[in-house]
Structures are given as C-alpha cells and as structure tokens.
Structure 1
Amino acid sequence: MPSLITHLKNIEYLTDFKSSNAFMILTAKQAYLFTDGRYLEKAKNLAQQGKSRLGKFTVIEMGKDLIETLKKISEKHKFSILEYEDEHISVAKYEHFRKILKGMRWQKGEKGIENQRSRKDASELKKLKKSQQINEQLFYSIRALLTPGITELEIAQQIKKRCYDHGADDISFEPIIGFGNHSSMPHHQNTTRKLKKGELVLIDMGVLFQGYASDMTRMVFTKSPTAFEEKIYNLVLEAQEAAIQAMQPGRHCDAIDQVARTLLTQAGYGETFCHSLGHGIGLEVHEAPTLSVRSKDMLQEGMVVTSEPGIYLPGQFGVRIEDMIAITKKGHENLTSAPKGIKESILS
C-alpha cells in the first residue's frame, strides 16, 4: 500500500538522508523524497549512488509546485488509499496533506519501518558495538573527574566535549548526572550542585557512532558504600542480570520486565521501580521494542535492547544499572563490558 513517511529517522534508515525537513511517498514501484533547497544536492547525490536500503529514489524539491506534484504522483500510481505514520505527524501537517490530496482515504500505518529497524543487520550491530565501546572509554575518562567540588553540569559538559576525542559523532542524549540524593530522580536534570566526598553518583550517558546510539548507566561510589547502599545496589544488579539471562528470541517483552520487577517486589522494593525495564536502541536511543509490563512486543534475533532496572528512594539515593543487549539466534550477547560489580564501582 502507498505510504506517506514523515518520521525523519525512518527516512534516514531507508535512504541514508539526514535533514530537518523532509517527507517521502512510497509506492510499489517508486520512492519519492521531498526536501527543501538546503538539502537538495545532498539528497540527489545519495539517490544517484543507489547504496541505500531503497536503492535509487526520486528527489523532488519542496516548492510552489508541491500540490500539483503530489496530485500527479497519486494519479500516476493510481492509489486512492494512503498509509501515514500517525505517531510522527502533527495535526496541522496531516490536515495539510488531506487538503492537497482530496478524496484520498487515509489509513494509519502498521509501523512496518519501525519493526524492520528493530531487527539490526550485521552492519548495524557492528556500529552499535563500536558506539558502546566509545561510550565506555568516555565513561572511564569521566569517572576520573569525580573529585570533590566538581558539579553535575561540569561532568555533563565534559561528556559532551570529550565524546569527539574518543571518535563519537555526538552524544546520543543529554547525560544524566545525579550526585547524592539527586540520584533518586530517574531523569534528574543536571544542576550546579558540587560533589561531596562520600556521595554516590549516578551517570547515564550515551554517544552516537555513524548515526547509531549507545546507552549505559553506572553507579560510582566516592567512598565504600554503607551496608544499606550495598544491599540496594546488589538487589538492582541481581534483577538486571536475571532479566538479561531471560532474554532470547521468542520471549515476550512484558515477561522479561516481570523477571526484574518480581525480584525487586519480593525484596520489598517493587514500588520504587517506577519505569520500564528497557527499550530498543539503534538510530534512536529509544525505539522498538519496549520492555514493560504493558508491552506486546516479542524479542527477535537482531534486536538490541537495554536492561536498566532501578530502585529510587526519594530524599536518600537511587540506583540504576544499564547494559545494552543484542538478541542472538540462540540467546543474547551483552554489548556492555564496563565493570558493574560493587567493588569495581568504588573510586580508589
């Protein structure tokens, strides 16, 4: 069925074309990429090379003739129904397209491209592995900066600055740096708070390598943890590892989430685990599948997902540990090698 593609990451996946303004019309026989003059030369070069997943495609400049061009395409390919990406189009744009293509029946798409993106090929897996390797090397250099007096914002800025030195394209998301009780907020926003000796630190960070994201969370103790901190940390680590060991093709994602959630619940901390276990990762740091209690997704070979359970105690501290896991033909492969035992998490 012909489809309107408005999600820029889906366009990038199909064509290797990156921009801030584009859409595509896909038909059974031809693919049309629309963009503005800023990106036209780049788009045409990629189309002529024909090395993308779509092979060659037709590039059309957005302009005064857009309405007439879209009408001609619909007439040429004789389609009266058009699928669209309902989660990736604004109401204004949707209404705009409906006005242009009057009489067209509009049907919500079935996320075919997202489902295809969720199963990585060998080239994508290689890029994801390299992205995480860079992320870990960057983490080690950042870990060494954790001395009293440095601020959360300064650590975040150093991650952004140093990622290029390690070979990354950019960061994949705004780093989360939580000192002391700030770690009890899962998506804490960095502040000018200064690190004090004895505080634990939560670092959630990732980079991009050739467009592919990494994502990792590690805890760092600036002195030996208390007995209670050690108990909480080891509970989270046990839940994370249990969930990872359960990952294999054919397993339902809600069941994987439940493995970690049940363990934490039985220990009396189920209510403090206030988010899903994990998510897919690729061109976007958050993509299909979703590992949550409500997920209807199933793990398949080629997927790369995170496992990141947490316990968050408001006003005290929080612990989250996150790895990237590739689903293989017979099980899984952990793409994260940064040590996470509690002894390795203590600054010497």
Structure 2
Amino acid sequence: MFKGRIEKLREAMNQKGLDGVLLLGDPNRNYLSGFTGNESYSLITKNQAFFITDSRFTQQAKQQVEDYEVLEYSKSGSFVDFLSDLVQETSIKRLGFEENIITYSIYKLYKSKVNCDFIPMHGIVEKIRIIKDDEELKLIKSAAEIADKAFAHMIDYIKPGMTEIQIGLELEFYMKKLGASDLSFPSIVASGVRSSLPHGEATNKVVNRGEFLTLDFGCIYREYCSDMTRTLVIGKPSDKMVEMYSIVLEAQKLALKEYKPGVPAMEVDAVARNYISNRGYGEYFGHSLGHGVGREIHESPVIGYRNKSKLVENMVVTDEPGIYIPDFGGLRIEDLLVVTKDGGKVLSKSPKEMICIG
C-alpha cells in the first residue's frame, strides 16, 4: 500500500523535475510511511526512501515503517546537518518541501546549511491524498460510525439547563470511550443566538427551551477524521425555526444528489445555495457547501462556488448548508459522504429530520 503511494509521489516528482522530497508535516509523512508518531522526517528520492527520526521514535519507526531505511539523526548532531550530508550523498539538486509547513526561519536555516535548491511542492502529496483507497475508506467509515453512536447518546443525554461546555465534554468523552483517539477538531456546540456562529465553540452558556442547538463534531480513528453536524431544537420550535430548518434540510438533500464523478464542485454548491437564496435566506449562507475530509479535517477539494474542478470517485467530502441569522440563531445539517460512480454514498447515518428535546 505505502509502496504504491510512494510510486505515485515519484511520478509527480518527475513531472516537476524534483530529485527528492522532504516531508515534515504529520499528515503527508504518515500517509506515505504508515508511521503514527510525530516530530520525524521523510526524505524520498527517485530510488530511495529514508525515514529520519530521533531516539524517542526510532523503535516505533522500525516497527511501523516499511519500504524505508530508518535513520536516527540524533546520534550525529542536528537534523539540518544530518540532512545536509544525506542530500550530498544522494546527489539531490532540487529538493521539494512543504511550504505550508516549514516556517520562514527554518527555510532560511536549511538554505544556509544544505547545498541544493529548495522547491515549493504546491500540494503534490495532498493531491494524491484526495482519492482515498479501500483501507482509508474503511477507517473513515469507522470514524463516522463512532460519531453516529455518539450523537444517538447525546439525544438521550442533553437536557435544558445544561451548559454548552457540559454537552461538549460529554460528546468528547463518549467518542473516546468508543475508540476515538482524539477529536477531529474542537467540537462546535452553539445554542440560541450563538447558533448563528458557524464555528461557535462551547461556552458556559446555558441551553434553554425555544433555542436551536448546533452540534458540529467528529473524531479521529486510526489517523482518519469524521465530520458531522446536526441541529437540535430545545423545547418547542417557533414557526420561523421550522421554516429555516426545512429549507436547510431540503437544500442539503438536493445537493446530495449532485455528488457524482465529473460534476464541477461549484455546480454542487450552486444547487444548495440557489435553493436557500430563492427562499429569501441567501445572505445568511456565507460559507462553502463542503470540503474534503481524510487525515485532516479540511482537505481538498473545496465544494464551493469558485471551484471549477470536478468530483472524482472515492473522494470523501461533506455536504453542509446552513442559515445563520445574527441575534436570532442558525442551523447547519452536515453529512460525510463518499463520491461513488453511482453518486454520493452517505457515511453519516444519524437522522436529519428535526429532533426536539425537552
């Protein structure tokens, strides 16, 4: 599996005229190696692959990493000096680097110590990661199943009078109890007027009757993320809340039908956006309809009105329209799905119809 991923990277390297690639960021390095730790490096050339770490991770790397030569740099001094020697030994002249990971100060250090040209990669590995293989799809599905089970638990757990933080802590605890290693991102728990904040993290606000309660959450299972949003009603909804909810739900369902290979991302976004706009709420839906999910919670592609790129089979993406009215409240409904030849296969199985609690 990892050997095949490395070969795809080498094809991209050849196209860009790179002699080697240096990987520092956890998502890309671990995607290509199988390592589950951090603070380590990969140097991949046209015919060799080196996994470089220190004494804290050497044993772990030798257990997890195949198809690489595992090297420990801490025995010979600093990493940059070790890298300099290795680049010289392997005759690298043009070395690709993750310009979104390496800071300017580190870049200047490398430039002063390592005798090669440093070439920004512009997302070479990320583009490979867009298409998920069978093992990745299996792990993402497992992460989504944990989120679904957690939501079912939260429906029974949540009561009026609880705080957002109390709800968020229970959500985190329950997902970890089910096997998650961490949260995909800090859970969004926003109620009442705060539910108009698309990324409103939990506060000490008390959840009251007559309010929306938006839960946007996910977990990491064996390095892969899930992402789902459901909006509950605490108590009895007003007519306006019912109207808003029905519009978002219908927009979400209509867009879901468009997640097919070959369809431009902007056209999928337009289906939901136009539906919401035609019902008078267009100004209250400001973010993109969705995004890719994998080792990171936000990956390519963006399902947005500017993205002309086309969907491809085995992309994992979200479908999440919303309406957010300042000083009133808002809601979002989000599913995680896989693009298949037959359309979007939804991984988020939790009910989407309005649920009222208390």
TM-score by length of 1: 0.92
Q: Deviations over 1:200-256 (max 9, x none)?
A: 211111111122111111011122322211111111111111211111111121221
Any stretches of 5+ residues in structure 2 without a counterpart? 1-17
Aligned to 1:234: 246
The answer on whether the counterparts of 2:73 and 2:82 sit within 8 Å (CA) in structure 1 is no
3-state SS of paired residue (1:311): strand
75, 90, 93: which is aligned to 1:77? 90
21, 24, 43: which is aligned to 2:61? 43
Letter in 2 for 1:247: Y
1:31 correspondence with 2:68: no
Looking at structure 2, the residues matched to 142 and 59 of structure 1 have their Cα atoms a distance apart, in angstroms, of 46
254, 260, 271: which is aligned to 1:248? 260
Distance 1:225 1:67, change over 3 A: closer
1:58-73 paired onto structure 2 within 5 Å = 58-62=70-74, 63-64=76-77, 66-73=79-86
1:141-290 paired onto structure 2 within 5 Å = 141-290=153-302
Distance 1:82 1:296, change over 3 A: farther
**RMSD across aligned positions (CA):** 1.7
21, 36, 39: which is aligned to 1:21? 39
The answer on whether the counterparts of 1:43 and 1:59 sit within 8 Å (CA) in structure 2 is no
Distance 1:123 1:67, change over 3 A: closer
Q: Deviations over 1:118-173 (max 9, x none)?
A: 11111111111111111111111112222122100001111121212222222211
Q: CA deviation at 1:281?
A: 0.6
Q: Deviations over 1:16-52 (max 9, x none)?
A: 21333122211011112222222121112223xx2xx
Letter in 2 for 1:76: E
Aligned to 1:132: 144
3-state SS of paired residue (1:135): helix
The answer on whether the counterparts of 1:236 and 1:311 sit within 8 Å (CA) in structure 2 is yes
Letter in 1 for 2:111: R
Letter in 1 for 2:93: S
1:317 correspondence with 2:329: yes
The percentage of counterpart residues that share the same residue type is 32
Looking at structure 2, the residues matched to 257 and 72 of structure 1 have their Cα atoms a distance apart, in angstroms, of 49
Looking at structure 2, the residues matched to 230 and 57 of structure 1 have their Cα atoms a distance apart, in angstroms, of 60
Looking at structure 2, the residues matched to 71 and 178 of structure 1 have their Cα atoms a distance apart, in angstroms, of 50
Moved more, 56-65 or 147-156: 56-65
111, 119, 131: which is aligned to 1:98? 111
Looking at structure 2, the residues matched to 7 and 166 of structure 1 have their Cα atoms a distance apart, in angstroms, of 28
The answer on whether the counterparts of 2:210 and 2:238 sit within 8 Å (CA) in structure 1 is no
Q: CA deviation at 1:116?
A: 1.6
3-state SS of paired residue (2:280): coil
The answer on whether the counterparts of 1:182 and 1:188 sit within 8 Å (CA) in structure 2 is yes
Looking at structure 2, the residues matched to 273 and 91 of structure 1 have their Cα atoms a distance apart, in angstroms, of 36
Aligned to 2:22: 4
3-state SS of paired residue (1:237): helix
The answer on whether the counterparts of 1:311 and 1:319 sit within 8 Å (CA) in structure 2 is yes
